[in-house]
């Protein structure tokens, strides 16, 4: 098959692919080149696709059934092809794309990987593809929603196309609105106020999950978040959706607000979407900034993380960054919302920043739980309030900066 643009062959995971030849892929030019490519393929998203393969395999083993999976914006088809080749128990793959060049290239890649009869490629807009699978006997077991920008335009139709107990993976790359640079844009898209703070990436993930849970609730489906992460330029969540009015109402109890004090860095959460209570900081008395409504529940399930790590080890996914990310997310499972940046607290107190591990040990000696977080290299999750953290920092005797040490 011939194409009207230059292509090259590469391997990712177990898949062999033709992808557009876009020239110099150095970091300085990659985003510009990707935006001009005739078919979208982002080599930097390999980590995202690795995680998708692991999460889908864990879900398949838990469900114990053969799966029909959907990638509605397939581009070259790399994600879908890897899932059907690398995940045991995937019976059928449905890929779609609005770009006819993408469906042509994905169809070629499907044949290149000997998937005739197991995979189909449709030249359809994502919402239309979902609508064609909204009947109960046509539902998908797994949907991977990974658009450019915000996924909110597709959530309702994705929820309708997913079977009861199915797994929905959702990515958002519009980090400027989600992290508080454009408040009105976030409010329009997600129905939530963002928060420009040192932990804005966690708030972004929680706003995304809140939008997902709200969309599911409109169809009386409860969202259980089994895995979520913030990586590079995006946030991503994996949710099992199960039908039931009572469980849906219980799921919505995890919605609420985060209140943040910009003066002293105190923060608290308010469950429920009707009333946040007093907005005055109980530490310094300043009016707190409100973010939400958003998801206040768990961002990952510990046992799901454990099984993903086991799958990664079993299949030889030995990339250091992947394993480091999985283990970090597992370790912070069960901690309360938000995290603290050591440098931000140190700057507030006009003190040098201690090394991360040194500060973690000091918190633990003071009787608190504390771990690193995957959201930021200098961030920590802890059950200690800001007042206790300041006391620990003041009494730790830190006389040197740990920023350079942690970056080595």
The CATH architecture of the domain made up of 39-295 is 3-Layer(aba) Sandwich (3.40)
CA–CA distance from 384 to each of 346, 354, 368 (Å)?
A: 16, 17, 6
pLDDT confidence of residue 399:
39
CA atoms of 218 and 174, how far apart (whole Å): 24
For 360, the enclosing helix (H) or strand (E) is helix 356-365
Contact 289, 266 (CB under 8 A): no
pLDDT confidence of residue 401:
45
pLDDT confidence of residue 194:
98
Residue reference for tokens 């920590």:
380
pLDDT confidence of residue 404:
43
Contact 355, 397 (CB under 8 A): no
User: So where are the chain's domains?
Assistant: 39-295, 339-408
CB-based burial, 56-85: b 16+ in 10 Å, e otherwise: bbbbbeebeeebbbbbbbbbbbbbbbbbbb
CATH dotted code for 339-408: 3.30.56.70
CA atoms of 403 and 408, how far apart (whole Å): 9
Smallest CA-to-CA distance from 177 within 158, 156, 152, 159 is with 152
Task: Give the 3-state secondary structure of 169-213.
Answer: EEEECCHHHHCCCCHHHHHHHHCCECCCCCCHHHHHHHHHHHHHH
pLDDT confidence of residue 29:
59
Helices 46-63 and 302-314, axial angle in degrees (round to 10): 110
Cis peptide before 293 (omega within 30 of 0): yes
CA atoms of 167 and 336, how far apart (whole Å): 25
Residue reference for tokens 């995971």:
13
Tens-digit pLDDT profile for residues 288-336: 999 999 999 999 999 999 999 999 999 888 789 999 999 999 999 999 9
DSSP secondary structure, 214-278, as one string: HHHHTTTEEEEEEEEEEETTEEEEEEEEEE-HHHHHHHHTTEEEEEE-TTT--EEEEESSS----
Low-confidence ranges of the chain (pLDDT < 70): 23-35, 397-408
CA atoms of 177 and 37, how far apart (whole Å): 25
Angle value at C-alpha 160, between 239 and 84, nearest 5 degrees? 60
CB-based burial, 19-52: b 16+ in 10 Å, e otherwise: bbebeeeeeeebeeebeebebbbbeebbebbbbb
pLDDT confidence of residue 4:
82
Distance from first CA to last CA of the chain, Å, rounded? 48
pLDDT confidence of residue 27:
61
Burial environment of residue 162 by CB neighbours within 10 A (0 to 12, 13 to 18, 19 or more):
buried
Tens-digit pLDDT profile for residues 69-105: 999 999 999 999 999 999 999 999 999 999 999 999 9
CA atoms of 68 and 119, how far apart (whole Å): 10
């Amino acid at each position: 098959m011939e194409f009207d643009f230059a292509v090259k062959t590469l391997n990712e995971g177990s898949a062999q692919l033709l992808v557009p030849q876009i020239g110099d892929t150095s970091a300085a030019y990659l985003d510009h080149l990707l935006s001009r490519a005739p078919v979208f393929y982002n080599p930097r998203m390999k980590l995202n696709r690795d995680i998708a393969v692991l999460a889908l395999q864990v879900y398949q083993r838990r469900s114990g059934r053969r799966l029909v999976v959907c990638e509605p914006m397939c581009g070259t088809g790399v994600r879908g092809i890897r899932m059907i080749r690398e995940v045991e128990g995937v019976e059928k793959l449905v890929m779609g794309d609005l770009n006819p060049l993408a469906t042509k290239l994905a169809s070629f890649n499907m044949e290149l990987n000997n998937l005739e009869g197991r995979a189909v490629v449709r030249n359809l807009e994502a919402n239309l593809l979902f609508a064609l699978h909204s009947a109960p006997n046509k539902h998908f077991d797994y949907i991977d929603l990974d658009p450019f920008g915000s996924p909110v335009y597709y959530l309702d139709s994705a929820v309708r196309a997913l079977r009861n107990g199915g797994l929905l993976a959702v990515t958002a790359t519009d980090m400027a609105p989600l992290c508080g640079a454009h408040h009105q844009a976030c409010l329009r898209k997600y129905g939530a106020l963002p928060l420009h703070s040192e932990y804005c990436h966690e708030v972004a993930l929680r706003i995304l999950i809140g939008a997902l849970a709200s969309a599911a609730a409109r169809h009386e489906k409860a969202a259980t978040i089994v895995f979520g992460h913030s990586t590079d330029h995006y946030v991503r969540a994996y949710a099992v959706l199960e039908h039931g009015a009572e469980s849906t109402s219980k799921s919505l109890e995890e919605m609420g607000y985060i209140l943040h004090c910009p003066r002293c860095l105190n923060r608290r959460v308010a469950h429920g979407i009707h009333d946040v209570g007093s907005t005055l900081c109980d530490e310094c008395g300043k009016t707190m900034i409100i973010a939400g409504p958003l998801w206040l529940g768990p961002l990952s399930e510990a046992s799901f993380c454990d099984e993903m790590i086991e799958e990664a080890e079993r299949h030889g996914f030995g990339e250091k960054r992947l394993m480091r990310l999985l283990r970090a997310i597992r370790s912070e499972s069960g901690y309360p919302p938000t995290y603290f940046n050591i440098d931000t607290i140190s700057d507030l107190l006009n003190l040098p920043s201690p090394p991360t591990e040194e500060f973690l040990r000091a918190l633990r000696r003071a009787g608190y739980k504390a771990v690193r977080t995957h959201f930021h290299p200098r961030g920590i999750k802890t059950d200690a309030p800001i007042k206790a953290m300041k006391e620990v920092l003041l009494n730790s005797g830190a006389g040197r900066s740990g920023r350079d040490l942690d970056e080595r």
